[in-house]
Structure 1
Amino acid sequence: MTPPSGVAAPVAAFFATVGFAALAICGFGFTSLLTDTDVLSAPGLGQGSGIAAMLLCAVAFAGTEYGAVRRRRYTAALWVTLASLAAYLLGVVLGGVLSGADAAAAIGVAGEFALSWYALVLAVTSAAAAWAGIALHRTRARRPEWPWERDEDDE
């Protein structure tokens, strides 16, 4: 018999993905503000690289998070985090090359990102959102209710 579940797996994965993207973008902004650096600092790379990286990262997060939510194991959040980081780095390179930048420069920027505070921000936000999505599905969460909305039989 399967344990009672809270929010359906696709819905939990969707909410986790949206939360992850919002937290990552916000975290990048604050990290940029605090360190006075750019997320991807390379002249000639353009904005396409960052956009492609975040889109690919969000897609990778969504796919792996759905599998993690269905497995109901909190340790699966580690795989979601690793997949998100790898997808972001791949997105930096692909976005850079597709926007006309030199492949070596795009790989260099991806390597610089991997060793920056931004990679840590991405990993932490990914792990936190993945864990939250799994918890949302595992627990018997429901929408908040006012006391007068509850059935008397539930009390």
Structure 2
Amino acid sequence: MTSSPDHSRGPVSTPVALALTTAGFFALLVAGFGMLSLLTDAEVLPVSGLGQAPGIVGAVAAVVGFAVATAAVIRRPRASYAEVLVIVVAGFLAYLAGVFVGAVLTGVDPARAVAAVGAFATSWFAVVLASVALVAGWCAVALVRTRAARPRWPWEHDGDG
């Protein structure tokens, strides 16, 4: 016995949409940070002596924050595009927390860790992070909401013709 399709959801399942957009979020984040750093000749975390760990932990935390918030939003029966702002805030705050935790765990003075968080939050890199989260979150909602089907030739349509 076949079950009828759920017409309240799009053709893409929630787990697939989550996986695709989380991978896209990470790829766009790395590319965005790299391109902005290249164009402006600036570092993502300009505080000296931090090392790479705070940035790595921050990026991992941002991906986890994005994935958790996105999963919560797109699991709803009718995901809302307005809820994408929750995804943006979650990814942004997770990155800031990850940078701080990564810096403190590697032995950096907490004052310098706070300085790194503040420097990031007031930089163009923060705009890139928020923009990437917005785009990827919007795509996640669109994937589960859109009811489009594959294109069909005129002779493939059901009906009398």
Question: Any idea what SS the aligned residue of 2:81 has?
Answer: coil
1:96-111 to 2 correspondences below 5 Å: 96-111=103-118
Moved more, 65-74 or 44-53: 65-74
Cα deviation per residue 1:30-66 (whole Å; 9 max; x = unaligned)?
Answer: 1101111000112211100000000011001001001
The answer to whether residue 12 in structure 2 is matched with residue 7 in structure 1 is yes
The answer to whether residue 26 in structure 2 is matched with residue 24 in structure 1 is no
Residue matched to 1:36: 41
The answer to whether residue 159 in structure 2 is matched with residue 152 in structure 1 is no
Larger radius of gyration: 2
Question: Any idea what SS the aligned residue of 1:75 has?
Answer: helix
CA contact (8 A) 2:47 2:115 kept: no
Question: Any idea what SS the aligned residue of 2:51 has?
Answer: coil
How far is 1:69 from its partner? Answer: 1.2
Give the count of matched residue pairs. 152
Residue matched to 2:147: 140
Residue matched to 1:82: 89
CA contact (8 A) 1:7 1:141 kept: no
Residue matched to 1:46: 51
The answer to whether residue 128 in structure 2 is matched with residue 121 in structure 1 is yes
Q: Name structure 2 gaps, 5 residues minimum.
A: 1-5
Question: Any idea what SS the aligned residue of 2:50 has?
Answer: coil
- Which of 27, 49, 57 pairs up with 2:62? 57
How far is 1:146 from its partner? Answer: 8.5
Residue matched to 2:3: none
CA contact (8 A) 1:80 1:130 kept: yes
More helix by share: 1
- Sequence identity of aligned pairs in percent? 42
| Distance (whole Å) between structure 2 residues aligned to residue 102 and residue 4 of structure 1 | 49
| Distance (whole Å) between structure 2 residues aligned to residue 11 and residue 108 of structure 1 | 38
| Distance (whole Å) between structure 2 residues aligned to residue 62 and residue 89 of structure 1 | 16
With normalisation by structure 2, the TM-score equals 0.87
Moved over 3 A (4+): 144-147
